[in-house]
Chain A
Amino acid sequence: MAQQLFPVTVVGSWTRPEWLVHALRRRQAGEITAEEFNQIADDAVLAAIKYQEDAGVDIVADGEMRRDNFYSFVVEKLSGMRLMKLSQLLDYMKDRAGFEEILRGLDVPAFAIKSPIAVAKVHGTEEGIALDEARFLKAHTRRQTKVPIPGPYLLTRSSWFEGLSDKTYPKREDLAKDIVRILRHEIEGLKRLGVDFIQLDEPSISQVVYGDEAEQTFMCAALGSRTDPTSELEFAVRLVNETVEGFKGVRFGVHVCRGNWSRKENVLLTGNYGPLLPSLMRMNVDQLVLEMATPRAGEVEVFKEYSNEKEIGLGVANPRTDEIEKPVQIVSRVKEMLRYFDPPKIFLNPDCGFGTFAERCVNTPEIAYRKLQAITEAAEILRREYH
């Protein structure tokens, strides 16, 4: 099926109703089973799908409604991982003083940052990571589907922690091999289910370039140990390419943003995509799903040298603001990118999800819905002009 111009999609997460967050807490406390939780979450997913479909979204996601956040949910899907609060990791932290500065800069408590830590050999299961989400989504929409999964660099970087992981995996690279193997298995499963678009979430890549220089850092709550930026980016490219190698018949995207844990723009990272593009363009994926609505993402001119090299999932609405973007503003933003990319190369989406963290959603469903509506209206205007 030919893709119409300027397809509208989402980055993944939808804002969570209070009753779902309550059920999530009860599940985490062991008061209800995963099955009971999933029955409750089914309603939330159906609502998320309906919001997207009513707003005119072409490629829909399940809203990540079953996840506590965009990546830490894997602890329930993989053996050998334990979800640990940063406050539990402080005893193992090498550069505690440096980390304290980051926490203070972000004005967050250590207990709010949770990371899946590899504490034993990591294994996947036949249940997969997001196969249940994909199966339910496919059964309840006739639109094209997108499933975001944590990328290999994000998962490796966030879950290898010296003092806890190194008994099983002496080096990060050792853990990366298992992560890539598990993600490849997941991709096979998602492909079998007929998912159209698989998005690898790699927000911590931006921390390499724009973030603090501390050895251990976090980005969107993804804790991580890192080396120098060049080696880190090389590592990220290699892992993404190993993960997607050989797969055909499904669209792959990599999502990179600068943080979505707070509505305070000044605590999120800032910088244009220029320093990242040489690496991102070497990733063997179809699309880069990028935030461009926030001024923190900088200017589009940095794409000049990479004209039409990939599809761009262009972020045209800021998920963290109350103001609804005007369709004409969105059209104007898209036209800036059309200087470097042909119309079939541009997809439209918000900058990031609306509920990256279940307990810290950045907007209401009503505003999120109206933002999606504005994007689809802009897409209609563009389609009329570029048909």
Chain B
Amino acid sequence: MAEEKELNGLRINKITAILDSMRDDPAVLKAVTGPWKSRVVWQGGFKAKAYMRKHAVEMDEPDGLDASDSAASAHEQLLSAVGSCLTVGYVLNATKRGVKIHDLEIALEGNFENILKWAGHSPAGNPGYPTIKAKCFVRADADEKVLRELWQAAVDGSPVTQTVARPTQILTEFEKV
């Protein structure tokens, strides 16, 4: 039996087969497409807990907001979600091209446009981030041109980045129980 080759902590044959099956098998594509789900349950104060499949993530707000700061806030976790998704994309693309990564780090930041809207002091404007900066630092066995191409592929193919970067409809509903 041929030895299973690993690169960047991934089994190359296995990941290639999975990617091919997404293209070739409609059932796999459907499963990967979604729906993806999260259920967020209030925990008191500004705390919330998000349940996703078998995982749970806590969220809180900084103590400057009279919260307990027991976890990162939701908007920080949004930055982290963008960075994590870009990380996954970079590793995927590097592995497909046979590039060994030694270190990979993404630094993200954003400023709210008008947080006074969240605070209820301003009726207009965007309370969210109008821009998010994401800087990738990588040390890998390829020349800079290749590493930049991998970054661009990661950005273009990132579901979270592209969700945040495009106008995304959020269909809200409400029910009093």
A interface vs B, CB < 8 Å?
A: 85, 87, 103-104, 108-112
Q: Nearest residue in A to B106 (C-beta to C-beta)?
A: A109
Q: Nearest residue in B to A86 (C-beta to C-beta)?
A: B105
Q: Quick check: A111 and B107 within 8 Å, CB to CB?
A: no
- Judge if B137 is at the interface, Cβ distance under 8 Å: yes
- Judge if B139 is at the interface, Cβ distance under 8 Å: yes
- Judge if B103 is at the interface, Cβ distance under 8 Å: yes
Chain A neighbourhood of B105, CB < 8 A:
87, 109-111
A109-B105, A112-B139 known; 18 other A-B pairs, CB under 8 Å?
A: A85-B103, A87-B103, A87-B105, A103-B107, A104-B107, A104-B109, A108-B137, A109-B103, A109-B107, A109-B137, A110-B105, A111-B103, A111-B104, A111-B105, A111-B137, A111-B139, A112-B103, A112-B137
Chain A neighbourhood of B139, CB < 8 A:
111-112
Chain B neighbourhood of A103, CB < 8 A:
107
Q: Nearest residue in B to A97 (C-beta to C-beta)?
A: B62
Give Cα A110 to B105, complex, Å. Answer: 8
Chain B 109-134 interface mask (CB, 8 Å, partner A; 1/0) = 10000000000000000000000000
In the complex, which residues 51-108 of chain B have their Cβ closer than 8 Å to any Cβ of chain A?
Answer: 103-105, 107
Q: Nearest residue in B to A103 (C-beta to C-beta)?
A: B107
Give Cα A27 to B107, complex, Å. Answer: 30
Can you list 7 A-B contacts (CB < 8 A)?
A: A87-B103, A104-B109, A108-B137, A109-B103, A111-B105, A112-B103, A112-B137
Give Cα A182 to B29, complex, Å. Answer: 62
Chain A neighbourhood of B109, CB < 8 A:
104
Chain A neighbourhood of B137, CB < 8 A:
108-109, 111-112
Give Cα A103 to B106, complex, Å. Answer: 12
How close is A27's CB to chain B, nearest CB, in angstroms?
A: 15
Chain A neighbourhood of B104, CB < 8 A:
111
Chain B neighbourhood of A110, CB < 8 A:
105
Chain A neighbourhood of B103, CB < 8 A:
85, 87, 109, 111-112
Chain B neighbourhood of A85, CB < 8 A:
103
Q: Nearest residue in B to A104 (C-beta to C-beta)?
A: B107
How close is B134's CB to chain A, nearest CB, in angstroms?
A: 13
Q: Nearest residue in B to A100 (C-beta to C-beta)?
A: B107
Give Cα A295 to B63, complex, Å. Answer: 42
The residue in A104, A109, A112 that gathers the most chain B C-beta atoms within 10 A of its C-beta is: A109
Chain B neighbourhood of A111, CB < 8 A:
103-105, 137, 139
How close is B73's CB to chain A, nearest CB, in angstroms?
A: 13
How close is A327's CB to chain B, nearest CB, in angstroms?
A: 38
Q: Nearest residue in A to B141 (C-beta to C-beta)?
A: A25
How close is A246's CB to chain B, nearest CB, in angstroms?
A: 44
Give Cα A110 to B104, complex, Å. Answer: 10
Give Cα A85 to B105, complex, Å. Answer: 12
How close is B43's CB to chain A, nearest CB, in angstroms?
A: 23
How close is A24's CB to chain B, nearest CB, in angstroms?
A: 13
Q: Which 8 A-B pairs rank lowest in CB-CB distance, beginning with the nearest?
A: A109-B137, A111-B103, A109-B105, A111-B105, A110-B105, A87-B105, A104-B107, A111-B139
The residue in B103, B104, B109 that gathers the most chain A C-beta atoms within 10 A of its C-beta is: B103
Give Cα A108 to B105, complex, Å. Answer: 10
Give Cα A287 to B103, complex, Å. Answer: 40
Give Cα A85 to B137, complex, Å. Answer: 14
